[in-house]
Structure 1
Amino acid sequence: MRQGEARRNQHLADVFERSGMSQGEVARRVTARARLCGLRHVNPDASNVRRWLHGAQPRDPLPGLIADVFSERFGHRVTTFDLGFGDTPDLDRPLNYSPSFTETVESVTELGRADMDRRKFLAASPFVAAAAVGPSRDWLLATLDREPAAGPRVRLEDVTDVRNMFSRFQEIDVMQGGGSGRLLLTRYMNTHVYPLLRRTHAEDVRRALCGAAAEQTYLLGWMAFDSGEHGTAQRYLIQSLRLAEESGDVRLGAHVLAGMADQTTVLGNPEEGRRLTQAGRQGLKGAESPACLADLWALEARALAVLGNESGATRAIVESERAFEQVAPGAEPEWARFIDGAYLHGEYATALRDLGRAADSAEHARESITHAQAQNRARRGAMSHATLAVSHLQKGDLESAHATGVRTLELARRVKSSRSTEAVRDVQRRMIPFGHHPLVADFNERARHLLAA
């Protein structure tokens, strides 16, 4: 076998052969793609393509451009690792909030494909604290200065089907945890929804489809967040925000910012979490969504509590309660259904817990538990029971904390949720000051089986 053949990139060769394109045509299309991205120095020819086929590794940004060319040819996402250009997908691309709708479609499609095909690698992708700053700014500017875009001709019935599927997947997440339906949703998005974005549509259909895709992409991000895969979650949320902007749905964009704020605060950056909630509220001006507004205020209270700003957090809770009083049943969008008494009282309880106000935290935790029990929502029940257990510990009542902690464990076992598991760990950590008390040992032994799983 000749030396060149020994190094042949068989992955690229297979894709190249299926495409039916010549080496010269591939080179021309890569050049054209580069021009669309403003890369005038990228100008490959047929000899470059021949060298790639024989194993030469193209330099950045060529691998991504080549993948885009074949993706366009086949009508589905072809990634750089599909082409044999290294073993890893470009995980930084979905962190970019691109002004180009075409680039956004490619980014979210590549993310979905990597999530389905290379989940273990993607799960290890890092959360980038600074990545949320640009998207929130760009989304807000776009909501304040919007021009209708022109477009050619999918059907509204297709969009309705996507929205109907959203309600089913959201129900799975709320009732069973993010780890239950995520793989199925990822597959559905890759095989059905993201391909629809590539097709032609009337402008009203395109905007409706972008809104439906944004909802589902947000849910994928939220499920990843609930599974503890924060880098994956961040990438989905950023692309969801961009799709929401394309749809023109300001309420949906503000909702995505709320999710980004929640994650950012949980991961130790409450200052940025608060800024994201403020951007969401600013964008909501002139748009009616009391539920989303209540959520944004609740998450601002969470951020302020972590910062130790008791007066600010208290005011934010009051504003959240005031907004929630204005919610009219049936008037809010489907994605806002989870913003209810179980959820909001749970968030208030967590904020008050972080401020050390044990009695107030316990009061809201019990309210959340009552609502969660009525709806059989194990994840929310587990998290609020954990908060209640901590409030008992803050008051020095280990016996009550143990009993509530055991109930936390029972509920956490019923869902696939790393947040529920982390709530159990939090109770364990806060029991440490009680030393080797038999109740502490008993709780740790009960928790060991759950945490090992």
Structure 2
Amino acid sequence: MAKAVTNHHLQAVLTEAGYAQARAAFARQVNLRGQAHGLALRYDAASVYWWLRGRRPDDPVPQVIAEVLTRRLGRPVGVDELGFTTGGQLAGLGLTFATDLEDTRTTVADLWRQEVARHDVLSTVPFVAAATADAGWRWHFDPRDPDASHRGGRRVTLSDVDALRACQQQFLDLDRRHGGGRFRAFLAEWLHREVEPMLHGSYTDKVGRQLFAAVAELTGQVAFMSYDIGDHGWAQRHFIQSLRLAKAADHAGFGAHILANMSTQAVYLQQPGEAVRLARAAVDGGRGRAHTSVMARLHTAEACAHAIADDARSCTAALRLAEDATGKTSGTDQPAWAGYFTPAHLAGTAIRCLRDLGRTAEALRWADQALDLGEGSVRTRALHTALIASVYATGSAAEPEHAGQLGHDALDLAGRVRSRRVTDRITDLAQRLAAYRGNPVVDGFLRRARDYVSPAPRG
């Protein structure tokens, strides 16, 4: 399946110039114009394909491209119109765990503003592993912010903060029902319009810490939505700023939760060492300060990290701790932002870990619990259904027909969400079932799955 266009600026000007369906001709003109600059260029239609999908040609080629388009259109076309510079301008934004709270306010506001203005290039923003490690270290060991008050525009009260928390629950529900791709831009636009003025308003230390806690949760929601749709560099920046806001709020349980999410992202990106370090930091940070349901979530993140590190003993120990914490959880005092985590989520983690460790029969014992989900958990049901199907498609005792039937169920659910993680689960299942072509159920699933198969699958 072709990758989606991400450089919509370049696409628009190529369309205007009549090159949208003539990429080879456009590449030839760039090569010819390059000769005037003493360049021996060898671009072709494939080069243009990748420019449209986020790659930036080396200097001075963007200027050469601008000259070709200027001559074609009969009007000046600047390099800044081509969409190549945006990713570079965003590359460093949000990677710093700021010492000063004013810098944090400014950075968070800039992230939301860029989400609104330049959402088409966010998938090209790079992921920088060193920044994640530094943020985790700073969250643990930087001193507490002495004062969270601020003097600015409008007066902010605890009632305003309560309203933010109510909105956050609505966005959390939308994300679970529809996936991160449907409402991320809407959430960022609302944060830019409504919440940014509050951050720069006037509030006491008490209100400020509550405000930072609520904004940390909302920023963490943007981060998770970005992770869900595969914009990992952008997700990383919001995770880091959410962690910084949680630090300012003395919101230790939520900060540990964000570290666990960062570990989960490292698992997705196949960075086992980083995943284990972040998960351990999350567990250490939450111990004695986080609700038991949060601790269960932290231990599941640690189990996943140990599984991809091929440490079966540590993985099993973490799963046992997660199960113990889940059994002790009471919903009466559970933080609202942690309400999504249920025994079904624990079961989903157990299935993936045990599958990856080659213990498929044991993994399937968790299958019923993994699907014991509420009506609103559409994305999780899709993820778990595809995951269980992948277990039935694995090993010497595989049941490919059952896997194919579950695969059809997963595809039905996938049509209701916009989530790269769901797409990747279906891709993984399709790859596992490819060895069983000839089975009518499997063949039917594989035909339907073509529209969902992603170019870079993850389990």
In structure 1, how many angstroms separate the alpha carbons of the residues matched to 2:105 and 2:451? 42
Partner amino acid, structure 2, of 1:99 = T
In structure 1, how many angstroms separate the alpha carbons of the residues matched to 2:259 and 2:245? 13
In structure 1, how many angstroms separate the alpha carbons of the residues matched to 2:314 and 2:234? 32
Say whether residues 1:174 and 2:176 are aligned partners. Answer: yes
Pairs within 5 Å for 1:113-262:
113-142=113-142, 145-146=143-144, 148-149=146-147, 151-152=149-150, 154-262=156-264
Instruction: Decide whether the 8 Å contact of 2:144 with 2:248 is kept in 1.
Output: no
Instruction: Decide whether the 8 Å contact of 1:139 with 1:242 is kept in 2.
Output: yes
Say whether residues 1:392 and 2:377 are aligned partners. Answer: no
1:312 aligns with one of 311, 314, 322 = 314
Structure 1, unmatched stretches of 5+, are 1-80
In structure 2, how many angstroms separate the alpha carbons of the residues matched to 1:224 and 1:152? 30
CA shift, 1:437, in A, is 4.6
1:324 aligns with one of 321, 326, 339 = 326
Instruction: Decide whether the 8 Å contact of 1:96 with 1:238 is kept in 2.
Output: yes
Deviations along 1:112-157, one digit per CA (max 9) or x if unpaired, are 1111111121221122222210000110113xx4353263551111
Pairs within 5 Å for 1:88-103:
89-103=89-103
In structure 2, how many angstroms separate the alpha carbons of the residues matched to 1:118 and 1:232? 12
Structure 2, unmatched stretches of 5+, are 1-79, 455-459
In structure 1, how many angstroms separate the alpha carbons of the residues matched to 2:416 and 2:337? 23
For 1:333, the equivalent position in structure 2 comes to 335
Instruction: Decide whether the 8 Å contact of 2:91 with 2:126 is kept in 1.
Output: no
In structure 2, how many angstroms separate the alpha carbons of the residues matched to 1:137 and 1:302? 21
TM-score, normalised to structure 2's length?
Answer: 0.76
Instruction: Decide whether the 8 Å contact of 1:91 with 1:111 is kept in 2.
Output: no
Instruction: Decide whether the 8 Å contact of 1:258 with 1:276 is kept in 2.
Output: yes
CA shift, 1:284, in A, is 1.9
In structure 2, how many angstroms separate the alpha carbons of the residues matched to 1:273 and 1:327? 25
Indicate the SS of the match to 1:106.
helix
Going from structure 1 to structure 2, the CA distance change for 1:190 and 1:309 (only over 3 Å counts) comes to same
Pairs within 5 Å for 1:273-352:
273-352=275-354
In structure 1, how many angstroms separate the alpha carbons of the residues matched to 2:441 and 2:249? 54
Say whether residues 1:112 and 2:112 are aligned partners. Answer: yes
Partner amino acid, structure 2, of 1:191 = R
In structure 2, how many angstroms separate the alpha carbons of the residues matched to 1:271 and 1:296? 16
Deviations along 1:355-395, one digit per CA (max 9) or x if unpaired, are 111112222232111x12x4342211111111111111123
Deviations along 1:55-83, one digit per CA (max 9) or x if unpaired, are xxxxxxxxxxxxxxxxxxxxxxxxxx9xx
CA shift, 1:285, in A, is 3.2
CA shift, 1:180, in A, is 2.2
In structure 2, how many angstroms separate the alpha carbons of the residues matched to 1:151 and 1:119? 32
CA shift, 1:254, in A, is 0.5
Going from structure 1 to structure 2, the CA distance change for 1:316 and 1:249 (only over 3 Å counts) comes to same
Deviations along 1:211-270, one digit per CA (max 9) or x if unpaired, are 000000000000111111111111110000000001111011111111111101111112
Instruction: Decide whether the 8 Å contact of 2:150 with 2:201 is kept in 1.
Output: no
Instruction: Decide whether the 8 Å contact of 2:401 with 2:439 is kept in 1.
Output: no
For 1:443, the equivalent position in structure 2 comes to 445
Partner amino acid, structure 1, of 2:242 = S
Deviations along 1:252-310, one digit per CA (max 9) or x if unpaired, are 11111111111011111122111111111211233141111111111111111111111
2:435 aligns with one of 430, 433, 436 = 433
Instruction: Decide whether the 8 Å contact of 1:264 with 1:270 is kept in 2.
Output: yes
In structure 1, how many angstroms separate the alpha carbons of the residues matched to 2:412 and 2:90? 40
Indicate the SS of the match to 1:330.
coil
Going from structure 1 to structure 2, the CA distance change for 1:155 and 1:400 (only over 3 Å counts) comes to same
Deviations along 1:402-444, one digit per CA (max 9) or x if unpaired, are 1111111111111111111111001011123335554443221
Instruction: Decide whether the 8 Å contact of 2:119 with 2:185 is kept in 1.
Output: no
Instruction: Decide whether the 8 Å contact of 2:125 with 2:234 is kept in 1.
Output: yes
Instruction: Decide whether the 8 Å contact of 2:279 with 2:301 is kept in 1.
Output: yes
Going from structure 1 to structure 2, the CA distance change for 1:443 and 1:135 (only over 3 Å counts) comes to same
In structure 2, how many angstroms separate the alpha carbons of the residues matched to 1:426 and 1:301? 21
Residue correspondences, number: 367
Instruction: Decide whether the 8 Å contact of 1:241 with 1:256 is kept in 2.
Output: yes
Going from structure 1 to structure 2, the CA distance change for 1:290 and 1:392 (only over 3 Å counts) comes to same
Instruction: Decide whether the 8 Å contact of 2:405 with 2:441 is kept in 1.
Output: no
Partner amino acid, structure 2, of 1:238 = I
CA shift, 1:399, in A, is 0.9
CA RMSD after TM alignment:
2.1
Going from structure 1 to structure 2, the CA distance change for 1:150 and 1:276 (only over 3 Å counts) comes to closer
Instruction: Decide whether the 8 Å contact of 1:194 with 1:213 is kept in 2.
Output: no
Partner amino acid, structure 2, of 1:149 = D
For 2:14, the equivalent position in structure 1 comes to none
